[in-house]
Structure 1
Amino acid sequence: MSHIDRREFLKISLTTSLFGISDVAFSLDQKKPNGVLVPPQMLHPFIVVFLRGGADGLSILSPLEDENFLAARPPEMRFSLEASSGKVKVGGANLFWHPEAAPLANLFAQRKLIAWPALGIMDETRSHFEAQEIMERGVNSLNTLPDDLGWMARQIITKDRFQKNLVPLFAGNNNSPRSMQGAHRAIAVRDIQNGVALPNGIGGFNAVSALCNADSNTVSAPWIKDHLSNLDFINQTLTKGSNKPMPYESAGKTAYPNADPGVGLRSVARLIDANVGLQYAWVDQSGWDTHENQPSRLNGQIKNLSTSLAAFSEDMEAKKQPYTLVVMTEFGRRLRSNRSNGTDHGHGSLGLIMGSNFPGGRVMGLWPGLSTERLDRGVDLAVTTDYQKFLNQAFSYQKA
């Protein structure tokens, strides 16, 4: 094994996922060209639950009375009217909640949830990588990028209003999302029930801390030292002086599922409850790329999503913690099912907004219909609301 000195070690650690951050790039260019998402200053936590893989919004909220939908999907690719969890009206059409989405239907009925169909990016790509990159970078095209930052990181880098030992960015994932790219004040840990597991234990933690102190003039040293401090701050906050943290106890009646996105949302809830200065959080739920066997796969996906959101809503409401949460995905699925009882990459999908201070129980956006002339490229649900407008609407619900 070749020898590396302390400075080289610190340099390498910048580009590894040692602490849950895979990319670090800084840009202080504060010019904001058109098409770049620039949220206002957050007054309470803003959380994104991202359905990674392209969720079929037409299965979560289904137009079961639309003859075009019935013709495009055989009975095994849809549920019956009798099995639905309820309906909503939009643009003269009725959309029906999936049977496993009963918790979402209840939140909607309680005016705690907004449904936003036909949501997505205006770019015509059907590539997971490109569509996710657009949404996480906060732009409307990858042709001209304003900087190297994700949209959440952009707020921290350019405004730098956070005190030391606060955690403004947190991902309840095993890896940091691209939305936090470029921010050293970001931490990614899927499950913090037992605190933050330090790489190589306390010995490794102390070794890296010592290297930072020894090479304090190295560009990377302050970055890593600050990050180590934040990790230690979280553990100290969660343990409250004891040897190990006690398991987080939700104040809601619904338990967080021991699956995504429930585990990540439980971690977010714990940090909100610990008052660590959280401003933005991101939680992934993967598994939505349903090219085959879609009905059975979606049952579990929708159940975990719905139950997780209900658990988080009840928990935050009982603890009187303000927040805004959005659910979105990179694109929807093709209207017509394929021969594998699945659906291929489409365009428009579904967004959800819930929170502590907003008028829920509404359907927003425009329903384009499913006739061939109204479909995107003649095959996909059209996008009638760009995701940036959706997020800006959610930002508007931020109240002290």
Structure 2
Amino acid sequence: FQRGAVDGLSVVVPFGEAEYYRARPSIAIPRPGSGENAAIDLDGFFGFNPRLQGLKPLWDARQLAVVHACGSPDSTRSHFDAQDYMETATPGVKSTSDGWLNRYLQARRAEVPTPFRAVALTAQLPRMLQGTAPALAVNQIGQFGIRGGQASEMIGASFEAEYAAAADRVLNGTGREAFNAIRMLKSTDPSKYQPANGADYPRSPFAQALRQVAQLTKANVGLEVAFADIGGWDTHVNQGAAQGQLAARLDDFSRSIAALIRDLGDRLEDTVVLTMSEFGRAVNENGNRGTDHGHGNAMMVIGGGVRGGRVYGKWPGLDVERRYDGRDLAVTTDFRDVFGEIVTRHLGVTDARQVFPGYPLSAARFPGLFG
């Protein structure tokens, strides 16, 4: 989750549209072929920000797709509200108690009970994983376990004995699974983890979170859903173009994801990586060489089963009369249709009504990310 509303028009650049350059005289990304800071051509109309060079091989391998002009039907420009709506998948409704990924976990029972079915590499459990289904939030997997100081081993043994003596077999199994998983993680020693395939993670918190996602995936502890976030996208002032604060953030973002994909290797065949942000930014740059809160945005979907190498979604155009409220990129794909296609076609939920309450999913509205 790119918290703070990333500028999708600087991430996946519509260089084929003249209005983009008129609206952004100082922060537009130059057209492909105009120098080292130019956009990376994707399809003759859209291009990657040059700081996303590390993701271009995934596009070329047709493992990365973009959904542009994607977002919420709600018009809020509040970070808090928009993030809440996206994480609950109930735009405009503030009373939703659980997140959409937690509802997925509720809708589909785990094949093997494990405390690591859903893990957020964050200090607090994100809204999208909150709910009645178990989910973990942990900054460092090496620190996961029962906190008991020097007595932790004794406490752990005591708890395990209690579970072993329990009459309830489900509780017994779940308890032992938890302690076995803790032991497994500690025995792997996260500090000594060696990424595969030459993957080179940056030293940033986001990269280290993704590094741990890869480690959990390979540890075979039953991981099904993982979450990480990266902030710093609220670029009202001095946003920059191919250089500057946005570019530096994108460099970390791109290199971190590229390292994760390389590290996963063949496991990417049954993995989907989804990037999202609460809303986009205004088409016109502001008086501070930045951008203000907008509406439509770009999502990336990466995976071995993704029909990549394409930009999905109907492009609304950037002319003033085609903008939302005369200022923002219009939304032509509801983010729930992206989520819904992943839940049904990748995760295999046949009836997703519980996952997306009040929204009638229709395959006809899916972007077409999976064959």
The answer to whether residue 69 in structure 2 is matched with residue 118 in structure 1 is yes
| 1:149 maps onto 2:103 in alignment | no
Task: Verify: 1:84 aligned to 2:29, yes or no.
Answer: no
User: How many pairs are equivalent?
Assistant: 334
- Cα 1:381–1:260 change in 2 (3 A) is farther
Q: 5+ unaligned residues in a row in structure 2: which ranges?
A: 163-169, 349-371
Match of 1:13 in 2: none
The equivalent residue for 2:335 is 387
Q: Distance in 2 between matches of 1:232 and 1:211?
A: 9
Q: Distance in 2 between matches of 1:361 and 1:309?
A: 17
Q: CA 1:60 to 1:78, structure 2 compared with 1: closer, same or farther past 3 Å?
A: same
What residue identity is the alignment partner of 1:286?
G
User: In 2, Cα distance between the equivalents of 1:152 and 1:301?
Assistant: 26
> Are positions 1:236 and 2:236 aligned together?
no
Distance 1:297 1:96 in 2: 19
Provide structure 1 residue ranges, at least 5 long, that are not aligned to the other structure.
1-49, 215-221
Work out whether 1:100 is the aligned partner of 2:51. Answer: yes
Q: 1:263-292 deviations in whole A, cap 9, x for unaligned?
A: 111111111101111111111011111111
Partner of 2:232: 287
Q: Distance in 2 between matches of 1:141 and 1:283?
A: 24
Cα distance, 1:372 vs. partner?
0.6
1:323 is matched with 271
> How much has 1:318 moved relative to structure 2?
4.6
- Distance apart, 1:351 and its partner CA: 0.3
Q: For 1:208 and 1:125, how far apart are their aligned partners in 2? A: 47
Q: Write the distance in 2 (CA, Å) between the matches of 1:290 and 1:226.
A: 49
1:350 counterpart SS class: strand
Q: Is it true that 1:132 corresponds to 2:83 in the alignment?
A: yes
Structure 1, residues 124-147: CA drift from partner, whole Å, max 9, x if none?
1111111111111122331664xx
Worse-superposed segment, 245-254 or 297-306: 245-254
Alpha-carbon spacing, 1:161–1:287, altered in 2? closer, same or farther (3 Å): same
**Counterpart of 1:94 in 2: which secondary structure?**
coil
Q: Distance in 1 between matches of 2:87 and 2:313?
A: 22
Q: Is the partner of 2:251 in helix, strand or coil?
A: helix
Matched, 1:60 2:14: no
Q: Which amino acid aligns with 2:41?
A: K
For residue 191 of structure 1, the aligned residue among 128, 137, 140 is 140
CA shift in 2, pair 1:288/1:207, >3 Å: same
Aligned partner of 2:320 in structure 1 is 372
Q: Aligned ranges for residues 1-400 of structure 1 at < 5 Å?
A: 50-75=1-26, 77-81=27-31, 82=34, 83-89=37-43, 94-142=45-93, 145=96, 148-161=97-110, 163-183=112-132, 185-192=134-141, 194-196=142-144, 199=147, 201=149, 203=151, 232-240=179-187, 244-245=189-190, 247-295=192-240, 296-318=244-266, 322-398=270-346
Report if aligned partners of 1:54, 1:289 keep a CA contact under 8 Å in 2: yes
> TM-score w.r.t. structure 1 length?
0.75
Distance 2:200 2:295 in 1: 33
The residue aligned with 1:31 is none
8 Å Cα contact 2:201-2:255 kept in structure 1: yes
**After alignment, is 158-167 or 382-391 more displaced?**
158-167
Q: Residues 337, 95 of structure 1: CA spacing in aligned structure 2 closer, same or farther, 3 A cutoff? A: same
8 Å CA contact retained: 1:195, 1:245: no
Distance in 1, matches of 2:148 and 2:204, equals 26
One-letter amino acid of the structure 1 residue matched with residue 185 of structure 2: L
Distance 1:79 1:205, change over 3 A: farther
Residue 229 and residue 84 in structure 1: after superposition, are their counterparts in 2 closer, same or farther (change >3 A)?
farther
- How much identity, in percent, do the aligned residues show? 31
**Alpha-carbon distance between aligned partners in 2 of 1:212 and 1:306, rounded to the nearest angstrom:** 42
| CA distance 1:234–1:390, shift in 2 (3 Å) | same
CA distance in 2: counterparts of 1:343 and 1:168, whole angstroms: 38
* Separation of aligned partners in 1, 2:153 and 2:111: 24
CA 162–348 in structure 1, closer or farther in 2 if over 3 Å, else same: same
| TM-superposed deviation, 1:198 | 5.1
Show CA shifts across 1:47-94 (max 9, x none): xxx11110100001112342221121123x1232223352234xxx71
2:228 is paired with a residue of what secondary structure? strand
